[in-house]
Structure 1
Amino acid sequence: MKIKEIEFKETASKRVYDSYMKRIKKAVKPLPSTDQNEIILEFNSHIYEGLQRNTNNLEIDHLLDILDKLGIPEEVLKPLVADKKLEQATKTFNPLHIIKALALNITNGISYLIFFVLYLLLFGFVYLIYAKIVNPKEVGLFLNDNSFMVLGKIKEGNLNNSAITEVLGNWFIPSMILSIVASYFIITFLLKLKRKINKK
């Protein structure tokens, strides 16, 4: 949807308005175009309505008062953009959206930092898959005398110990893939749940 620009009598007013709107557009860039347009339209209508209430002030002075009340776009829009991005991420389950949403929300509490770390840990499983392909004997789920020893990589010298056994064998890679997918959906579901709790 095309947003109708406000017409001004003074050139200085037009320049200030254009600059402010450009900053808003830049601040909402991470969002989908429908959300971008909705926010830009809302700010535009606030400015327009404010200008209609002008009582014999200079146009530029009145515009500056309106923009001052609306606030600095980068600061005012940061929490809104972060929340909208989080909403998009938890709806789509898209990893790129989730990473962007968490990056935007990282300053909004320690819980978002914890979620960010949980998603990063999933890359550890990806690394284990790669390591298993490169070094199949040294990577796996190892038990020492039937008790858990390590999920990952062990030194080749430890393999000579008869008490140490790798239990998954050829099922290691499918198990890791299943773990990645299941963990990803569980973490994303918990993130969605946290967002709903925050909304209340």
Structure 2
Amino acid sequence: MKIKEIQFKETASQRIYRSYMKRIEKTLSSLSKSDQQDVLLEFNSHIYEGLARKTNKRETDHLLDLLEKLGDPEKVLKPLIADKKLEQATRTFNPIHLFKAIALNIGNGISYVVFGVLYICLFGFIILIYFKLKNPDQVGLYFKDDSFMLLGKLNSDYIKNPSVTEILGNWFIPTLVAITLIAYLILTLLLKFKRSINKH
């Protein structure tokens, strides 16, 4: 649904209004079209209702006062965008949306920092899979004398050491893919659960 533009008597008022609405649009650009329309409609109706209240001020002054009360879109909309992005991310499970949502929410508590670190760790697993494909003999899950030594790329000095063994062999990539997918799903569901708790 197209937002109906408010018409003003003064040219300056029209320009100020359009400029403010454009700032809102630009700020909302990372959200879905329907979310953008909802927010634009809400702001537009606030401005319209505010202008309907009669005052002795000139139209431009009245509009400027209203917009000042509504606040700078870039600041006012930040929490809303962060929440909408989080909703979109946990609904779609899209990694790009998830990283954007975490980045936007990083200032909203330590739990988002923890989620961010955990998602980065999962990204590390993907990098390990890539290196395993490039250097199959140097990357794996290594044990030395029956105790864990390393998950990653082994230094060439240890490769021929008989006490160092790679445990997973050909199962390294399937195991890491499975762990990454399962952990990603669990983390995203926990993030969704956290969001639902914050809503109540």
Q: 1:25-44 to 2 correspondence within 5 Å?
A: 25-44=25-44
- Give 3-state SS (helix, strand or coil) of 1:160's partner: coil
**Partners in 1 of 2:59 and 2:103 — Cα distance?**
39
Q: Report deviation, 1:71.
A: 1.0
SS at match of 1:156: coil
Supply the AA of the counterpart residue of 2:79: P
The Cα of 1:55 is off from its aligned counterpart by 2.7
Q: Name the structure 2 match of 1:96.
A: 96
Q: Secondary structure at the match of 1:158?
A: coil
Query: What amino acid sits opposite 2:98 in the alignment?
Result: I
Q: What's the % identity of the aligned pairs?
A: 62
Code of the aligned partner of 2:157: G
In the TM superposition, what are the counterparts of 1:177-196 in structure 2 within 5 Å?
Answer: 177-196=177-196
SS in 2 for 1:157: coil
- CA displacement 1:134-175 (0-9 Å, x = unmatched): 211111111112221111111222122222111111111111
TM-aligned CA deviation for residue 5 of structure 1: 0.2
Q: TM-score, normalised by structure 2?
A: 0.96
Match of 2:170 in 1: 170
One-letter amino acid of the counterpart of residue 86, structure 1: L
Alignment of 1:31-70 (within 5 A): 31-70=31-70
Partners of 1:140 and 1:172 lie apart in 2 by 6
- For the residue of structure 2 that corresponds to 1:143, the secondary structure is strand
Q: What is the CA distance between 1:183 and its match in structure 2?
A: 1.3
Gaps of 5+ in 2: none
What is the aligned-residue RMSD (CA, Å)? 1.1
2:134 and 2:149 map into 1 onto residues whose CA distance is 21
Structure 1 window deviating more from structure 2 (31-40 vs 106-115): it is 106-115
Q: Determine the C-alpha separation between the residues in 2 that align with 1:89 and 1:166.
A: 37
**Mapped partners of 1:96, 1:146: distance in 2:** 39
Deviation at 1:192, TM superposition (A): 1.1
Equivalent position SS for 2:152: strand
Give how far 1:49 is off: 0.8
Aligned residues: 200
Q: Which amino acid aligns with 1:187?
A: L
Counting only pairs closer than 5 Å after superposition, residues 115-134 of structure 1 correspond to structure 2 as 115-134=115-134
Point out where structure 1 has 5 or more consecutive residues left out of the alignment: none
Contact 1:86 1:101 in 2 (8 A): yes
**Normalised by the size of structure 1, how large is the TM-score?**
0.96
Distance 1:44 1:140 in 2: 58
